[in-house]
C-alpha cells in the first residue's frame, strides 16, 4: 500500500515540475537552517572529542555570592573550588575524577616585533585525564608538574604553526604573557565552541604570577567532575550543594556577602542557570533551555509551513479528478488523508535529503571561513537523526490540513474538476 502511495507521489512530482521545485526549495531551505543550527548546538553540547565523557560530566561553572542587598555572579575562584573538591573523589566514590581549570583568556606574545594573540588556559593535571585530547606529539603535563609549578605547556597545532612554522615543537620554549614555558605536547585544534576544553595554549595553574588567587571565592575558574555514571548525578549534586553551603563560613569578605549560590550542572544546565536565574542562580533548569530551543524552532517553522500548506492545497485542486475516482470506488476519507500525509512526508524527506547536502556545504564553508575559530562543524549521526526528526515533524505539520481538505472533496464535484 505504502509502495503504491510512493509510486503515485513520484508520478505527481514528475508531472508538475515547477510545483515540485518550489516545494522542494522551501523544504530544503527550512531544513538547512535548522540543521546548521543543530550542528552548532551539537558542537557545544554533545559528548565528542575532546569532551568524550561529556554525558557523565558535571561542572561548577558560574557561582554567585549574595547578601540581602547585593549579588555578585561570575566564575568561581580557585579558593572556593579547591575547598569544595578537596578529597571529593575519596569521600564520594561516585566521583571518578575532578579537575579545576581557568576560563581561557587571551595572552600576548611577540614574534619578531609582531603581536601574536593566543587563547590561554591554566589547568591541573587531571584535566588531561578527564578530557581526551588527540596528541600529535609529546604528552600532557601531569599533576606533579602542576604541584611543583613547572613551566610547561601544551599547545595546539595552529599555535605550533604560528610559533615554530609547523616543525616539531616538543622541548622548545614558548614566550607568552611575559612568561616562558617548555612545550611538552601538541594537540589537535579544539573548536572554540567546546567551552571547557578550548584554548590555544594550556599551562599548569601553579605557574600563575601571583599566589593570591588561591584564596579567592570569585575569580575565573571552573571545575569539572567526572561521575562513574549518570545515575550518580543526584548524589553528586547534593554533595556539592552541601559543600558549597559549608564553604559559606569561609567567604573572604563576610562583611559584604553571606551566601553562595551555584551547583554542579551539566553543560546545558549551566547555560540555563545563567540565562534563567540571573540574580539568584538558585537552580538550573535545563528543560527550560530545551523548551526555548523547541519554541524557536517552531516559530521559525511557521512561515515555511504556511507556505507549504498553500502549495499543497493548490496541488490538490490539480488532482481533484484522481480523488474523485478514488472516492467513487469507495476509498474512505481516512484512507485519502493517510495517502496524502504519506506523500507529503515523502516529499519532505526528499527535501531533507537535498537540505542535508546543502547543510554539509554550508557547514564546510563556515569551517573554511574561520568565522568560528577552529570550528569543526559537521553532520554526524546525531545531527542526521535530529534532522530526520525535524523533517518528519515538518512533513506531518504541513500535510495534515491539506489532506483533511482533500478528503472533504465531494466525489461528483471532484470528478467534474470543480473548485473546492
What residues line the site for other proteins (CB under 8 A)? 18-19, 21-22, 25-26, 29-30, 33, 67-70, 72, 74, 77, 102, 105-108, 110, 113-115, 177-178, 208-210, 212-213, 216, 218-220, 252-253, 255-256, 302-304, 306-311, 313-315, 317-318, 371, 405, 416-417, 419-420
Of the pair 246, 303, the CB lying nearest other proteins is at 303
- Of 373, 385, 56, the C-alpha closest to 231 is 56
Interacting residues of 383 by C-beta distance below 8 A, sequence separation 6+: 35, 38, 39, 42
Our CB check for other proteins shows the closer of 37 and 396 to be 37
Contact 391, 352 (CB under 8 A): yes
Closest approach of other proteins to the CB of residue 90, in Å: 29
CB of 63 to other proteins, least distance (A): 11
Closer to other proteins by Cβ: residue 30 or 375: 30
Cβ-based nearer residue to other proteins, 302 or 325: 302
Residue 155 CB, shortest distance to other proteins, in Å, is 18
> In whole angstroms, how close is the CB of 409 to other proteins at the nearest point?
13
Closer residue to other proteins, CB minimum distance, 113 or 165: 113
Dig out the grid coordinates for 135 from the structure: 596528541
Residue (168 or 250) nearer to other proteins, CB = 250
Query: 93-113 burial by CB neighbour count: b if 16+ within 10 A, else e?
Result: ebbbbbbbbbbbeebebeeee
d(CA 406, CA 420): 8
Contact 39, 375 (CB under 8 A): no
Nearer to other proteins, 94 or 358 (CB): 358
Give φ, ψ of 292 to 5 degrees: -65, -45
Work out how close the CB of 26 gets to other proteins at its nearest, in angstroms, rounded to a whole number.
4
* Rounded Cα gap, residues 118 and 158, in angstroms: 10
Task: Tell me how far, at minimum, the Cβ of 23 lies from other proteins, in Å.
Answer: 8
Tally of residues, the chain: 420
Other CB atoms within a 10 A radius of the CB of residue 273 amount to 28
- Taking Cα atoms as reference points, which of 6, 26, 27, 19 lies closest to residue 318? 19
Q: Are 197 and 205 in contact (CB under 8 A)?
A: no
- As a whole number of Å, the CA-based R_g of the chain is 28
Least CB distance to other proteins at residue 52 (A): 29
Distant-in-sequence contacts of 378-387, Cβ < 8 A, 24+ apart: 378/39, 379/35, 379/39, 380/42, 380/48, 382/42, 382/46, 383/35, 383/38, 383/39, 383/42, 384/356, 386/35, 386/38, 386/42, 387/31, 387/34, 387/35, 387/38, 387/352, 387/355, 387/356, 387/359
**Residue closer to other proteins (CB basis): 58 or 80:** 80
Q: CB nearer to other proteins: give 68 or 93.
A: 68
What is the Cα–Cα distance from 363 to 356, expressed in whole angstroms?
A: 10
Give the nearer residue to other proteins in terms of CB position, either 266 or 398: 398
Integer Cα distance of 294 and 271 in angstroms: 16
Q: Is 92 helix (H, G, I), strand (E, B) or coil?
A: coil
Q: Could you tell me the smallest distance in angstroms from the CB atom of residue 318 to other proteins? A: 7
Measured from the CB of residue 311, what is the shortest distance to other proteins in angstroms? 5
For 325, phi and psi rounded to 5 degrees?
-60, -45
Q: How far is the CB of 49 from other proteins (least distance, A)?
A: 27
CB of 104 to other proteins, least distance (A): 12
Nearer to other proteins, 69 or 87 (CB): 69
Amino acid at each position: 500500500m505504502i509502495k503504491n502511495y510512493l509510486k503515485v507521489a513520484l508520478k505527481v512530482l514528475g508531472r508538475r515540475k515547477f510545483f515540485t521545485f518550489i516545494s522542494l526549495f522551501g523544504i530544503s531551505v527550512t531544513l538547512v537552517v535548522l540543521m546548521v543550527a543543530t550542528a552548532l548546538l551539537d558542537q557545544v553540547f554533545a559528548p565528542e572529542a575532546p569532551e568524550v565523557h561529556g554525558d557523565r560530566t558535571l561542572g561548577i561553572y558560574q557561582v554567585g555570592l549574595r547578601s540581602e542587598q547585593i549579588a555578585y555572579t561570575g566564575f568561581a575562584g580557585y579558593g572556593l573550588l579547591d575547598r569544595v573538591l578537596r578529597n571529593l573523589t575519596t569521600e564520594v566514590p561516585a566521583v571518578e575524577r575532578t579537575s579545576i581549570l581557568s576560563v581561557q583568556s587571551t595572552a600576548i606574545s611577540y614574534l619578531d616585533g609582531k603581536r601574536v594573540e593566543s587563547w590561554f588556559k591554566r589547568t591541573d593535571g587531571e584535566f588531561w585525564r578527564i578530557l581526551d585530547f588527540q596528541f600529535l606529539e609529546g604528552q600532557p603535563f601531569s599533576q606533579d608538574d602542576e604541584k611543583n609549578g613547572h613551566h610547561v605547556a601544551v599547545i595546539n597545532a595552529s599555535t605550533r604553526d604560528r610559533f615554530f612554522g609547523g616543525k616539531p615543537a616538543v622541548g622548545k620554549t614558548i614566550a607568552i604573557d611575559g612568561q616562558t614555558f617548555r612545550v611538552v605536547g601538541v594537540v589537535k585544534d579544539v573548536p572554540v565552541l567546546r567551552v571547557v576544553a578550548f584554548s590555544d595554549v594550556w599551562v599548569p595553574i601553579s605557574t600563575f604570577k601571583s599566589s593570591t588567587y588561591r584564596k579567592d571565592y570569585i575569580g575565573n575558574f571552573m571545575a569539572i567532575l567526572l561521575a562513574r555514571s549518570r545515575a550518580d548525578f543526584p548524589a553528586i549534586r547534593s554533595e556539592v550543594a552541601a559543600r558549597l553551603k559549608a564553604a559559606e563560613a569561609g567567604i573572604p569578605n563576610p562583611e559584604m556577602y553571606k551566601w553562595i549560590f551555584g551547583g554542579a550542572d551539566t553543560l546545558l544546565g549551566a547555560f540555563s542557570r545563567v540565562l534563567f536565574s540571573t540574580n539568584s542562580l538558585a537552580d538550573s533548569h535545563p528543560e527550560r533551555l530545551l523548551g526555548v530551543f523547541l519554541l524557536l524552532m517552531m516559530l521559525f517553522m511557521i512561515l515555511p509551513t504556511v507556505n507549504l500548506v498553500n502549495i499543497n492545497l493548490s496541488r490538490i485542486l490539480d488532482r481533484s479528478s484522481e480523488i474523485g475516482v478514488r472516492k467513487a470506488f469507495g476509498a474512505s476519507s481516512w484512507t485519502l488523508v493517510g495517502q496524502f500525509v504519506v506523500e507529503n512526508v515523502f516529499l519532505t524527506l526528499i527535501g531533507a535529503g537535498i537540505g542535508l547536502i546543502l547543510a554539509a556545504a554550508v557547514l564546510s564553508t563556515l569551517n573554511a571561513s574561520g568565522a568560528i575559530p577552529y570550528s569543526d562543524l559537521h553532520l554526524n549521526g546525531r545531527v542526521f537523526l535530529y534532522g530526520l526528526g525535524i523533517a518528519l515533524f515538518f512533513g506531518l505539520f504541513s500535510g495534515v490540513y491539506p489532506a483533511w481538505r482533500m478528503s472533504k472533496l465531494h466525489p461528483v464535484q471532484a470528478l467534474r474538476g470543480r473548485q473546492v
